[in-house]
Structures are given as C-alpha cells and as structure tokens.
C-alpha cells in the first residue's frame, strides 16, 4: 500500500508541475511553449516565385542551433522549400506552386547543457501572382490619352513605370503611383505602350496595350468641283 501511495504522489506532483507550467505560459505575454503541439503559428502570405528569409534570435546567454523539424504542403511532410544556413531560414516558393494551398514549416531552436527545445510553426498561405490590365480606345489626331490600369495581387501599393528597355509614344507619361497613362501623342497609326507594375516585395507584372491615332475627319475637296448633268 505504501508503495502504491508513493507512485500516486509522484504522479500528482508531475501533474501539478505540468499545470503550473501551462498557467505560467498563459500569464507571460509572448512566451512560446517548447512543445510543438502548443507552439504559436505565424501565418505568412506569399506568392509563387517569392523567397522568404528569417533569422530567429533567442534568449541572451544561450547558444542555440536552428533546424527545420518538418515541412510540407498541408499535412504532408518531406517538403524541400525551406533550408537553414548559418541560422537563417530561407523558403523558396516555386513558380509552379498552386494558389490556395498552404505550406507548413516547423522551426526548432535547440540549446544545450541542459538541452532545451523551442518550436515555432510558420504557415505560408500561397496567394495568386499579381495581374494588371487595361486598354485605350483609338483617338483622333490631336486628342489625348487617359488610361488607368486595373490591378490585383499581393504587395500593394504598386509602383509604376515605363517598361525597362521599351519605348513609349512621345508625349505620354506614366504616373508612378497609379499607373495612369496620360498625354497627347503625336503622329498617326498604331501606337504601343509598355508599362510595368512592381509590388513592395519586388514582384513585377507588365502591361502592353495598343491604340490607333486616326486623322481628323475632313472634306478633301470643294463642292464647287461637283459635276452638273442635264436630266430634263
């Protein structure tokens, strides 16, 4: 009987210690519990073709090694998007990644003497790449252009500029904040405009649109040159 009571007492002490640890974790703001099942999850929006880097810092006075415990799409494991080099996590999202999916990665920090582990879960939500669109109707010679592109994507506000290495019709300018193309172009015929939007993360999307400058309508001869015929 004494032996059984001793075992029960030890079990009760262990339970009390565990409960006390949980209470302390709840009371201390920002404390991340080492157990992965209780680790806080950080959600990061990202798009195909984008790279994410993060160098975790730890409590002063400890030497900590950072590793990836597990990673993969959804509940899968064995993913390869993330690597750790010299304590820095790098995640490269392939351009073939499917928007709407989630890539989960558990980062583990380990210190020694005594051994302590701290897990951090990062959940990458894959969004769609940025898109831009817009068109300009034909204009009459001497008329003006006013075209504001529409856009969608992650990383707003975008910045806008003429596409590098391209030439736009003389007389047109691109608003750097809105992408609006305005001005009075010269000449006649088909005109092509090239503009590029850049997100705050460096992703780019190009827009190419065309319009035609047509001559102003006018009569090229005089009624006095008309021909008279007798029909009576």
CA distance 160 to 206: 10
Confidence (pLDDT) at 36? 52
So where are the chain's domains? 34-126, 131-214
CA distance 53 to 66: 13
The candidate with the shortest Cα–Cα distance to 153, out of 194, 98, 200, 195, is: 200
CB-facing half-sphere around the CA of 95: CA atoms within 13 A = 2
Confidence (pLDDT) at 13? 42
Prediction pTM value: 0.74
Dihedral, CA atoms, 48, 156, 131, 186, nearest 10 degrees? -140
Written out in words, the top-level CATH class of the domain with range 131-214 is: mainly beta
The candidate with the shortest Cα–Cα distance to 127, out of 156, 169, 97, is: 97
Confidence (pLDDT) at 25? 42
Residue 23 φ then ψ, to 5°: -65, -45
Tokens 């079990």 -> residue:
11
Confidence (pLDDT) at 20? 47
Confidence (pLDDT) at 78? 94
- Using DSSP's 3-state secondary structure scheme, residue 117 falls into strand
pLDDT averages per 10-residue partition of the chain, 232 residues:
47 46 41 53 96 97 96 95 98 97 97 95 97 97 97 93 97 97 96 97 96 96 94 87
Judge whether 34-126 and 131-214 match in fold. Answer: yes
Instruction: Provide the CATH topology of domain 34-126.
Output: Immunoglobulin-like (2.60.40)
The candidate with the shortest Cα–Cα distance to 130, out of 93, 161, 157, is: 157
Residue 66 φ then ψ, to 5°: -100, 130
Q: Which two tokens stand for residue 204?
A: 């780019």
What is the number of other CB atoms lying within 10 angstroms of the CB of residue 207? 22
CB 47 within 8 A of CB 126: yes
């Amino acid at each position: 009987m004494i032996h059984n009571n001793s075992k029960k007492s030890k079990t009760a002490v262990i339970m009390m210690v565990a409960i006390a640890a949980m209470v302390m974790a709840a009371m201390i703001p920002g404390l991340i519990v080492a157990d992965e099942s209780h680790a806080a999850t950080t959600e990061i929006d990202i798009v195909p073709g984008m790279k994410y880097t993060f160098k975790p810092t730890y409590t002063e006075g400890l030497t900590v090694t950072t590793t990836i415990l597990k990673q993969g799409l959804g509940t899968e494991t064995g993913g390869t998007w993330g690597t750790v080099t010299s304590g820095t996590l790098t995640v490269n999202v392939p351009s073939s990644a499917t928007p709407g999916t989630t890539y989960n990665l558990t980062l583990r920090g380990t210190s020694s003497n005594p051994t302590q582990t701290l897990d951090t879960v990062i959940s990458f939500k894959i969004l769609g790449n940025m898109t831009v669109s817009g068109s300009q109707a034909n204009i009459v010679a001497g008329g003006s252009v006013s075209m504001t592109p529409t856009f969608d994507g992650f990383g707003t506000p975008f910045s806008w500029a003429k596409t590098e290495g391209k030439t736009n019709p003389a007389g047109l300018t691109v608003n750097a904040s809105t992408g609006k193309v305005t001005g009075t172009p010269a000449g006649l015929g088909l005109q092509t405009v090239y503009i590029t939007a850049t997100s705050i993360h460096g992703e780019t999307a190009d827009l190419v649109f065309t319009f035609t400058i047509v001559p102003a309508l006018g009569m090229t001869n005089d009624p006095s040159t008309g021909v008279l015929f007798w029909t009576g």
